[in-house]
């Protein structure tokens, strides 16, 4: 789960594995696999980093190349 902030300032926890797409219009819109859409304050870049950090926490660091 990753923590995001809705436009009204309320925090929300989202299952990162259920995120289908993210777009900036200019607000950040997160579309889930269920079809639900969330508009959040977090930028697309911040959201991407939160997902990467979450995956690394769950699966560990990738081996050095």
Specify the pTM.
Answer: 0.85
Q: Return the HEC string of 12-65.
A: EEECHHHEEEEEECCCEEEEECCCCEEEECCCHHHHHHHHHHHHHHHHCCCCCC
Q: Tell me the two tokens of residue 62.
A: 């990738």
Tens digits of per-residue pLDDT, 27-65? Answer: 999 999 999 999 999 999 999 999 999 999 998 877 677
């Amino acid at each position: 789960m990753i923590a995001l902030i809705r436009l009204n300032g309320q925090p929300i926890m989202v299952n990162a594995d259920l995120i289908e797409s993210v777009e900036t219009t200019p607000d950040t819109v997160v579309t889930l696999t269920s079809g639900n859409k969330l508009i959040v304050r977090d930028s697309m870049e911040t959201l991407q980093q939160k997902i990467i950090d979450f995956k690394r926490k769950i699966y560990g660091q990738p081996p050095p190349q």
